[in-house]
Amino acid sequence: MKYPTPVPLASRRRGGIALSAMLSALVFAVCSAPTQVGAAQNPNATAMTPEWAAEKAKLIEQGKKYPSAWAFYSDLKKKANGGQRLNWNNLPDWSGVYSRPMGAKGLSFDLDQTGDFPTAKYTPEYQARLVKTVNDLKNGIEYDPLSQCNSPTFPRWLTLPFLRDHVVTPDQTTMVAEAFNMVRRIYTDGRDHIPEGDRYPLELGDSIGFWDGDRLIIHTNQNMAHMYERAQGDYSDEVETVEIWRKVSPDTLQADVWVYDPPALAEPWFARQRYVKLDDDNKRLRVRHWSCKGNPNNDVVETSEGGSQFKEFTFEKN
């Protein structure tokens, strides 16, 4: 399934995007006054400066030029003349322990989100699902499959706020998220995806990529249907992504992500992810194995109303 030709829709929405970006910039400008740091402001959110608003609008439009993530990725690869293979002497330094900051609305997929709803444009079916989720949440009804330690899957993997580290080698980049022991492997040795007839949904999909200078460009398919985050909407198992990763400062890895998912999204969803290198002067940070079954007090089940509830606590038994 592909997106329809986007030109007329893009033309109609351009004005709306610009207005929305200006309003967002105004809101962030007001909230970013240095003397007003407090609960209403999140210094970790991407600063919605006028420059970023304009750049983001271009990045959104860039994604809409392509009918699929694969078409976008293939064009990026063509423009990079296939990319450049790293060697052991020119590997970028992505060492250290990183974490994803929260946005103004917590664990939002798009850190620029400021209202109750994510910045995605969903299809009517998926929008209705999202509205129900948001309304249920207002009534205290919410359940997350992660409660049973199921995989967060990809692209939700991008939002996990816990520890992460990265291993860059010429033929493969390995991205480790501590939470749920989620390890992505991005093959950069020139291999293709698995042939279409042999594909099946995977918790973290199948990722191939190439290097274009200091940018790691990734295409991911074979994903599983899941949610971006709580009250962030769902994706289908047709979801595919293009990511452009780059170290933009000594302590910041940035990933520009375009999500294509025709059953769920009316148009590709762009969001910039950031991962910040944590101070670790005393060398105490560790990316640990997670075991969800070690403490029975963490057992959370879904209620008949669709909410969440703990089972019996061990500490109640005195």
The residues that touch another protein, with contacts defined as CB under 8 A, are 37-44, 99, 101-102, 105-107, 137, 140-144, 146-147, 149, 160-163, 178-179, 230-231, 251-252, 276, 278-279, 284-288, 290-292, 294-295, 297-298, 300, 307-310, 313, 315-316, 318
Nearer to another protein, 133 or 188 (CB): 133
What is the CA angle 125-130-134, rounded to 5?
155
Residue located via tokens 């402001």: 41
Nearer to another protein, 74 or 150 (CB): 150
Nearer to another protein, 55 or 136 (CB): 136
The nearest distance, CB 194 to another protein, in angstroms, is 31
Nearer to another protein, 172 or 308 (CB): 308
Tokens of 147: 């409660």
The nearest distance, CB 37 to another protein, in angstroms, is 3
Q: Is 174 left (phi over 0), alpha (psi -120 to 50) or beta?
A: beta
Phi, psi for residue 306 in degrees, rounded to 5: 95, 10
The nearest distance, CB 140 to another protein, in angstroms, is 5
User: Could you tell me where the DSSP H helices lie in the chain?
Assistant: 7-31, 50-64, 69-79, 124-138
The nearest distance, CB 15 to another protein, in angstroms, is 32
Burial 135-169 (b: 16+ CB within 10 A, else e): ebeeeeebbeebbebebbbbbbbbbbeebbbbebe
- In angstroms, rounded to a whole number, what is the distance separating the alpha carbons of residues 156 and 144? 12
The nearest distance, CB 315 to another protein, in angstroms, is 4
Burial 182-221 (b: 16+ CB within 10 A, else e): bebebbbeeeebeeeeeeeebbbbbbbbbbbeebbbbbbb
CA pseudo-torsion sign 278, 26, 17, 77: negative
The nearest distance, CB 36 to another protein, in angstroms, is 9
Nearer to another protein, 39 or 81 (CB): 39
Nearer to another protein, 171 or 305 (CB): 305
Tokens of 33: 């006054």
Nearer to another protein, 1 or 301 (CB): 301
The nearest distance, CB 233 to another protein, in angstroms, is 15
